[in-house]
Amino acid sequence: MQVIYSIYSIKKPNRLYFGSAVDFKNRKSVHISQLRSNKHGNRKLQRHFNKYGESDLVFDICEFVTERNDILKSEQFYLDFFKPYFNICKTAGSNLGRKFGKLKKSHRENISKSLKGKKRPHIAELKSKKLYKYDLYGNLITIYKNSVEANKIENKRVRKYSNINKTIGGYVWLTEDCQKPDFEKLRLSKEKKDK
């Protein structure tokens, strides 16, 4: 079952981290493994671990989330309410605000060389398929040439309908090969969540 979890310091209890996981036990072991090998992506957490040790950090489950679609919404609540010290990214499920550090020029050149001449099918697919924007009543609102165009015009990242991305921005996004969902069921589900 998916959960919202926290990591907090015993010596400095105001230092918190909130995250979400589908498998908490596995997520915890990944955190610990990366911290022990000094390769954790969160510099604040890594520095704290290096200074105070593993025994200072406590992992705790804050909430069980029954609906998988609600997990990021729940995590965002904790991020907004507690403004945790260890969280680098202020938006759940996003890397915005995270600093990855500068790559060396030689490393950038190697990446560039390795990608030259290679087709990236996921990018080609994004640019080749029309994207249809529907409201929750099943009315077609707009047809975009592709998802790149939709992202620019809508000024947000839109993805085609799936079990995880049912609606984005209150709309359903479909490509030609997508089967139309049950709009009434989606609408009722969204109205129920908004209450």
pLDDT of residue 147: 79
**pLDDT digits (tens), the chain, 195 positions:** 789 999 999 999 899 999 999 999 999 999 999 999 999 989 999 999 999 999 999 999 999 988 888 888 999 999 999 999 999 888 887 665 555 566 678 877 877 777 777 665 555 555 667 888 988 888 988 888 887 788 888 877 777 777 666 777 788 888 877 788 888 888 888 777 776
Burial 61-70 (b: 16+ CB within 10 A, else e): ebbebeeeee
Residue spans in the chain of domains classed CATH 3.40.1440.10:
2-82
pLDDT of residue 180: 84
What Rg value do the Cα atoms of the chain yield, rounded?
21
Architecture of domain 2-82: 3-Layer(aba) Sandwich (3.40)
pTM greater than the 0.75 cutoff: no
Q: Which helix (H) or strand (E) holds 72?
A: helix 71-82
pLDDT of residue 195: 65
CB contact at 8 A, 42 and 7: no
